[in-house]
Structure 1
Amino acid sequence: MAPPSVANISKGFRSMRILRNSVMARAAIPLIALTVTAASAQDAAVTDPNLYKVVFENDRVRVLEYRDQPGAKTSMHAHPAFLVYALSSFERRLTLPDGKVLNRTFSPGQILFSEAQTHMGENVGTTETHIIMVELK
């Protein structure tokens, strides 16, 4: 029996890859739809579009600019893992869904990394909050 040719082996791998990808794609469609629906329901750019502005987005990150004035509050919303870069000095209170309260004070240039989080925010200081937030996908 002659060994299979490189072209036949390559064609076989290509067929297996196409089949695998189509089966995986069909299985993932309901999960993708569920994830998008759940995420958009609590997306900060949707819940508080007057405070969050999407300034860049690709398949790896989303960059938001956030600004508010003293006394301003956000709706309850969620972020995937994220990085915050403070452009101003400010004080915030974050209230988590379980009622736990986190108080944060930032100085310009300060950077904070956080795992995914759902919270409601409030500017409890006397200065504007101004940040750049990079959400990881």
Structure 2
Amino acid sequence: MDDSRHPTVTDPEFYQVIFENEKVRVVEFRDTPGARTRHHHHPDSVLITLSAFHRRMTIGDRVIEVDRAPFEAGWMVEHSHVGENIGDTPAHVIFVEIK
């Protein structure tokens, strides 16, 4: 992956590396209602929600809305997107990126 497109580079105000070794990188994400990311790339990851959120994701020419409850875990395939918090609560998520 081109690290210049990693979300900790494109959006350091929202994404922060909290652990990394040769196998995984753990990234924490936080934003507030109305916040919008720049276009960035995620590798294959496990996504763990620490809060509920409602987001609009623009992936290429597709626009989807995503609702998640707190304390869900799921697999996220590698992709690039722009995300926007369209809910009325802050979002808090952990990504466990597979290297």
Q: 1:87-120 CA distances to partner (integer Å, 9 max, x unpaired)?
A: 0111011101x22012111111111211101001
TM-score normalized by the length of structure 2:
0.95
* CA–CA distance in structure 1, aligned partners of residues 64 and 41 of structure 2: 15
Match of residue 45 from structure 1: 8
Match of residue 91 from structure 2: 129
Match of residue 30 from structure 1: none
Q: Which amino acid aligns with 1:103?
A: E
Q: Which amino acid aligns with 1:57?
A: E
* CA–CA distance in structure 1, aligned partners of residues 49 and 38 of structure 2: 21
Match of residue 113 from structure 1: 75
Q: Which amino acid aligns with 1:112?
A: G
Alignment match of 1:65 (pick from 15, 20, 28):
28
Match of 1:49, SS state, is coil
User: Unaligned 5+ residue runs, structure 1?
Assistant: 1-34
The structure where helix makes up a greater share of residues is: 1
1:74 matched to 2:42? The reply is no
Match of residue 104 from structure 1: 66
Which protein is bigger by CA-based radius of gyration?
1
Match of 2:93, SS state, is strand
* CA–CA distance in structure 2, aligned partners of residues 91 and 44 of structure 1: 19
Q: Which amino acid aligns with 2:98?
A: L
Match of 2:3, SS state, is helix
Q: Which has the higher contact order (CA 8 A, sep 6+)?
A: 2
The structure where strand makes up a greater share of residues is: 2
Match of residue 89 from structure 1: 52
TM-score normalized by the length of structure 1:
0.70
Match of 1:41, SS state, is helix
**How far off is 1:135 after superposition?**
0.7
